[in-house]
Amino acid sequence: MIVERAPAKINLALHVRRRREDGYHEIETLFAFLEDGDEVRAAITDTPSFVATGPFANALGDAGDNLVIRAEAAFRQAFAIDSAHALLLVKRLPVASGIGGGSADAAATLRALARLHGVPLDDPRLIACAEALGSDVPACLVGTTALGRGRGEQLHPLEGTAGIPVLLVNPGVALSTADVFARWDGRDSGALGAGRPIVLAMRGRNDLEVPARMLAPDIDAVIEVLGKAARPWLVRMSGSGATCFALYDTADDRARAASAIRRSGKGWWCLESALL
């Protein structure tokens, strides 16, 4: 059995530039990945199967239609694979939360199946599978800090974020990416630019934060609490929300902030981790 991690994804910055004729949005984003996340296990078998476990397994909905199963089907078609696969997803990340859980799971499935069948991870057919599965899946397939353009699939790897302590907080709200994008005001507030990732993150923004807050006002409370806890040097919502993150100088600062949030009694989901 092959075991693949599916690290959580955050957008250190996310600039929406315009709506494209194909219905997608032209974006510029700074992807970063965490040491923690979901896990996908895959093996060749006689009878296909899919099992989900973990604290958020029940939130997946229809077990016959999710990104893990779609990724497996896309892989078999792209590489003319006749054998069946047993797939196990350990779902530790909240669903529809802006941290790439489904996309990371799909990417981990592609990597696991590629290892099973001896396919190089840079095979163009594998990358095409990722692009067809979703805008964030190519970045999750690579799993390193990168500047993403286009739909997010045009990737330019960057260095300089490894080990930065990060705290994720979700108020228990699931948001539809389509609904959030539909409420974007359509204004281009400027490019993300180029430079070191930390500089880009500090001078960047998340253009989806305002529409997400309209749909989920609890995001306001999360950002306010994070901003006051243990002196973070950046607090922002990730992706289309509702998960927010804070970056810290030290793991001790992160731990103090996490402790304060847990003591608040709000019942928010909280994850202490670090950037890869």
HEC assignment per residue over 37-90: EEEEEEEEECCCEEEEECCCHHHHCCCCCCHHHHHHHHHHHHCCCCCEEEEEEE
Residue with tokens 């300089």: 160
Q: Which of 36, 136, 207, 253 is catalytic?
A: 136
Q: Pull the structure tokens for residue 160.
A: 């300089």
**What letter represents residue 269's amino acid?**
W
Phi, psi for 59 (deg, rounded to 5): -85, -5
- The neighbouring-strand residues paired with 5 are 39
Q: Pull the structure tokens for residue 27.
A: 């974006």
CA pair distance 92, 170, nearest whole angstrom: 13
Burial class, 21, CB count within 10 angstroms (exposed 0-12 / middle 13-18 / buried 19+): exposed
Residues 6+ apart with CB under 8 A from 123: 114
Say whether 9 is catalytic.
yes
Say whether 228 is catalytic.
no
Our separate counts of H helices and E strands in the chain read 9, 10
First to last CA, the chain: 25
Q: Which of 9, 38, 207, 253 is catalytic?
A: 9
Decide if 128 contacts 7 (C-beta within 8 A): no
Which residues are part of the catalytic machinery? 9, 136
